Each structure stands twice: as C-alpha cells, then as structure tokens.
Structure 1
Amino acid sequence: MERYYSYTRYLKEKFGGKVYKIPVNLPHTCPNRDGTVGTGGCIFCEDSPGGFVCLPDTRAISQKVEELKKYFQDKFKAQKFIVYFQAYTNTYHPLAVFRDYILAAVDNTDIVGLSVSTRPDAVNDKYLEVLAEVKNKKNIEVDVELGLQTVNYKNLIAINRGHTLAEFIDAVLRIKKFGLNVTTHLILNLPGETLVDVIENAKIMSALKIDFVKLHTLFIPEKTVLGDMYREGKIEIIPLEEYVQWVVTFLEYLSPEVVVQRLIGKGPDEGVLFANWGVSWWKIKHLIEEELEKRDTRQGAKCDYLNGKAVQKFLR
C-alpha cells in the first residue's frame, strides 16, 4: 500500500505508463552570480559563473532530443517522453532565444511533457506565455521547476539565495495563472532549521497548491562557502535518523494532492564533504517508507489546517 502520492503513480494515471525524461542542457549563468541580483551564488554552489559566449544552434537541441529518445526506445522500449531543462536557470535568456530553445526542444514526436527548471526571480509573464503557447499547441503538459530550498525567509538570506519567499509566491501565482504546473525543490536539513520549518514547508506547498515537490538532502561540495563553514565546525548536520523522521512529518502535513517526485536525491560521488550521510539514496528512501509503515501514517494525515480550520467545528 502506497503511503504517499508517488511520481510513478502520477505518470501511470496521467499517461498510462512509464514516461522517460530527456535531459537538455543550455548555455548558462545565474542572476545570483552575474550581479543582476547578487554575486557568489548560493553558499552550496561551487560552479563558476558561465555566460552566453557560444550559444548553440537550436537545431542541436532538437537533434539531442532525438538521439536520447532513440536511446531510451532501444534500451527500455520507451514510447513517451518529457523534455527536461534541468541545470541552472533556464528562463534566464533573452526572450527570443528562450523561445527558440523551447520550440526546438518540443519539435519532436512522442513528447508528452516539458519541464523547465528555474529560479523564482526569473519567472516573467512573457516567458510563461511562450510555455503556455507550447502547452496548448502541442497538447503537452508543461511544468516549471522552482528552486526554493526553504520557506524560512531568514535562511534564504543566510544561504545567499538572492531571492525571498515573496518572489517564490509571486512566481507560483503567475505560473498557475497560465495553467502550467509547478514543482518546488526543498532541502529539509539546512543548517539552523527545525521541525517547525519542516512543517511550514509542507503547509505553504499545500496552501499554494503546488503540483509536485522534490526533496533532497543538503550536499556540501568542497570548494564552496558552505564547505569552508563545515570544515571550520560552524554548522551541524542532523543525524540520518532524525532526517527520516522529518521527511515523514513533512509528508503528514503535505496535502495528499501534491505529487512527490522525489523523496531523496542521489548525492555526488566525489568532490563533497557531506552527502547523504554516506548512505545510498535508495536505502534512505527505504528507511523513510519503513518509518511511514511503522508510524502507520501517510501523506496528508495532518493536513487539516486549510479552509478556515477554526470555524470548521460550526459546519459539522
């Protein structure tokens, strides 16, 4: 018996079976690195800033999609695909360039979805119009992935995200206005956060009717500000056992309508000071599912705080 709304179940209900994601990388930089909203990037980001030195021909994107699609077809007998702009801030391009990238990516058969990862402060109506146009013309599902990490507005400053909670809320409302889906990335074990933050993360995701959530633990790359803080003993990471409890509690407060795309991320193999307590991601996933069973609980078990909780007693 499944105790949370898994992405696997969602895809089966929506598309009738397995759907494979085709990763597409674009030339990148970040407004939190190039001085637009900040410099240095998030304290856990080690990549040096990039630029638009050599923008690829959009035909290369279409070709890459076709090559990867054929690979999945040959190896897994795949028939349906989601094009996934995963890395960095994929809406942070001139509007015309962004439009060309998007159109090239979906100019293919068997594409049932498009997923575009970005930052809350890089979401604008003009860019959303492009995505909505593609959604309607191609009759595909379009999802905008927002890196948030936490709803704790003070911690957003501490980790140098370069945006606040307000920008996230604004982005979600705008995306929804265009009939697009929203995915939110969250890190539940950021330094200084507590179970109160975990619960508030779940509550805000539910109140905003986020479509998908992706959970991942905090990775600490060596060559980062966070790495220096970790070596100097300025931050502590909660034990794995406590993290498992936090994820289960998060799920209890999360609306049962929100799809959980990921319970745990796969940590980097090298170049990190900390990743998943040195434990395989699949084992941590299993521990979370075991704890759900042990507590005989499920996603949404404590989602009773919406729609005027205080007056509901008068309506029974």
Structure 2
Amino acid sequence: MNYLSLSDYLKQTYGQKVYKISLQSGCTCPNRDGTVSRGGCIFCSEGGSGDFAAPLLPINEQIDFAIKKVEAKLPAGKEHKYIAYFQSYTNTYGDTGKLKAMYAEALSDPRVAALSIGTRPDSIKDDMLETLKLLQAQYGKKIWVELGLQSIHEDTASRINRGYTLPVFENTYRKLKEAGLTVIVHVILGFPWETEEDMLETVRYLSSLSPVLDGIKLQLLHVLKGTRLGDEYLRHPFHVLELQEYCDLVVRCLKLLPKETVVHRITGDGPKKLLIAPLWSGDKKKVLNTLNRAIKLS
C-alpha cells in the first residue's frame, strides 16, 4: 500500500530531507487557564504536548539551540532545512502582535523552510487568521496550522475535556483553507471507550472534507504520569492497544485517506519518564519497523 508520507512530501517539495525543530511561544491554553476549562485535556502532560521542545528563550536562540541538537546527529558540512514547529499548548492563544513578531522571526531565518503552529480550532481569531495569511505571503514560506481534533465523536470530546464541538472545528477548517493555509489534523487512536469503527469513522470524516485535508497525524493514545487519564489508569486499568492491534488499525486508516493527504505521523513519542502505558510504545525502532512491515504487506 502506498501513502504520501511527510518525509516523501518534504523531499518532493524542497528537494532534500527537512527536519522539524520544536519551539515554544510561551502561550498557555484556554483549556487550562479557566477560559474554557481547567486542567487541559485528560491525556495532556504538564508540558502541553511539547515535552521535547527547546527551552523558552528568544526565538532566534531557540532555533539555534534546536538546530545544534539536530545537527549533532547529522554529517557535518551540509546545509539543512528545518520546519519551525511551535508545538506545546495553544500557539494562537495570546497577543496577536507578540505572536506575529515571533512567527516573523522564525520565518525570516534562512534555515527555516516552513512554519508549523499547533493550536485549537476555538482559539484562532480573525485577526490571527489574517496575520498568518499575510506572513505566508510576505515570506513566501508555507504556514501549517495543526488542529487537535482527536475524535469526531462528541462523547469522546466530553470525556477528554476537549472543550469545543465538531461544528467549531468545521468552521475553523473552512476559514483556514479559504485563507490559503495548510491544515493538519491530529487524531488519537486508542481511547478505551471507542470501538475500532468509531476511530475509523473519524478518519472517514476527515477523508471526506472539502477542500481536501492537507495533512493528518495518527497518534497512539499514551497514558502518561501526571495526567488525569494516567491517574484513572492507575486506579482502574483499562485496555490499551497492543502493538499488532495498533498496526492493523493504522493500515485501515491509511487506506481511507485521499492520496493527496500527507501523513505526518503514524505513531508518536511519549516521554519514557512519564509513560505508563502502553509500554511497547517506548521502543520506537521496533514500533516503526512493525508498522512499516504491516503497511508494506497490506
């Protein structure tokens, strides 16, 4: 089975391998500060899903710090390109002027090929939307907006304390696409109350979006220490997907996607020091090898 992986897409677009560096904007989240709710989504760690991000320094220093870490593992003497990824918390939730300056600084770095912004569909105001549209035109570099949907099911949205309904996502998706921005949607596979069919329904829905979805991240549910989901698991352990279950499910998801949709992720990393379950997910090499074998054989 063939699908458009992020690695292949980046090589096609930029003519070389491109690396992602995780940065911080210093934003919080309306699902943590009381605007929408408190405590965040039940699966989200204190790092706000940005446990691997660079320290909170001026943007140029964050970029230098993150690039040095990446380049320490790469052959010397070659010029590399990077995606500046504002990952943790909600990176459009704050003062638009300050965020614009941060994003402009990242985009102005010649090593940065594109900008990726993790956020929520209910936290993109019209002035922020216009700002992103103008920055993309000004710097001639793609801006990706990553939306944490996780599931289309309202029961799941309530259980995970997501804090917004599906129509909010649909409205934001439409506005982002009309602005010419690239949209990537996060989906979590493995909520214990969802059936396999429930999870496939989420992917079918995303596959039917018009305009066509630019990118998707398929993420295994990680149960982490210090989260409400983790506390619940320690009190009353629930079923988490086994490796083969997860591989079979990913294959079924990939078969549903349009050929134009870029698959940015087929698994994910939970910090090993925080990981409670599933423990098999901590062996990234084994997971990726098993996934790739399952995809190749499908």
CA–CA distance in structure 1, aligned partners of residues 297 and 68 of structure 2? 43
SS of equivalent to 2:216: strand
Partner of 1:177: 178
Letter in 1 for 2:62: K
Deviation at 1:73, TM superposition (A): 5.9
Partner of 1:10: 9
CA–CA distance in structure 1, aligned partners of residues 69 and 282 of structure 2? 30
Partner of 2:296: 293
Unaligned runs of 5+ in 2: 49-54
SS of equivalent to 1:145: strand
Partner of 1:110: 111
Aligned 8 A contact 1:20 1:78 in 2? no
Unaligned runs of 5+ in 1: 50-55, 296-316
Moved more, 200-209 or 29-38: 200-209
Deviation at 1:272, TM superposition (A): 2.6
CA–CA distance in structure 1, aligned partners of residues 270 and 192 of structure 2? 18
1:64 aligns with one of 54, 62, 65 = 62
Change (3 A) 1:268 1:66: closer
CA–CA distance in structure 1, aligned partners of residues 130 and 281 of structure 2? 43
Q: Are 1:21 and 2:20 matched, yes or no?
A: yes
TM-score (norm 1): 0.83
Letter in 2 for 1:289: N
RMSD over aligned Cα atoms: 2.3
Change (3 A) 1:115 1:157: same
Deviation at 1:193, TM superposition (A): 0.9
CA–CA distance in structure 2, aligned partners of residues 166 and 157 of structure 1? 14
SS of equivalent to 1:106: helix
Deviation at 1:70, TM superposition (A): 6.1
Aligned 8 A contact 1:267 1:281 in 2? no
CA–CA distance in structure 2, aligned partners of residues 61 and 283 of structure 1? 35
Change (3 A) 1:71 1:294: closer
Letter in 2 for 1:97: K
Deviation at 1:143, TM superposition (A): 0.2
Runs of 4+ in 1 over 6 A off after TM superposition: none
SS of equivalent to 1:168: helix
Aligned 8 A contact 2:107 2:141 in 1? no
Letter in 1 for 2:213: I
Deviation at 1:7, TM superposition (A): 0.7
- Structure with max Cα Rg: 1
Partner of 2:101: 100
SS of equivalent to 2:220: coil
CA–CA distance in structure 1, aligned partners of residues 109 and 293 of structure 2? 41
Partner of 1:257: 260
SS of equivalent to 2:88: coil
Aligned 8 A contact 2:47 2:88 in 1? no
Partner of 2:37: 38
Partner of 1:81: 82
Letter in 1 for 2:4: Y
SS of equivalent to 2:84: strand
Partner of 1:200: 201
Letter in 2 for 1:11: L
Aligned 8 A contact 1:217 1:276 in 2? no
Deviation at 1:15, TM superposition (A): 0.7
2:231 aligns with one of 228, 231, 239 = 228
Moved more, 220-229 or 111-120: 220-229
Change (3 A) 1:17 1:43: same
SS of equivalent to 2:229: helix
Change (3 A) 1:235 1:73: closer
Residues 113-141 of structure 1, C-alpha deviations (whole Å, 9 max, x = no match): 11111111112221121111111111111
Identity %: 36
Aligned 8 A contact 1:230 1:236 in 2? no
Letter in 1 for 2:20: K
Partner of 1:153: 154
2:248 aligns with one of 239, 245, 257 = 245
Aligned 8 A contact 2:269 2:282 in 1? no
CA–CA distance in structure 1, aligned partners of residues 180 and 233 of structure 2? 42
Number of residue pairs matched by the alignment: 287
CA–CA distance in structure 2, aligned partners of residues 150 and 165 of structure 1? 9
CA–CA distance in structure 2, aligned partners of residues 248 and 139 of structure 1? 35
Deviation at 1:145, TM superposition (A): 0.6
TM-score (norm 2): 0.88
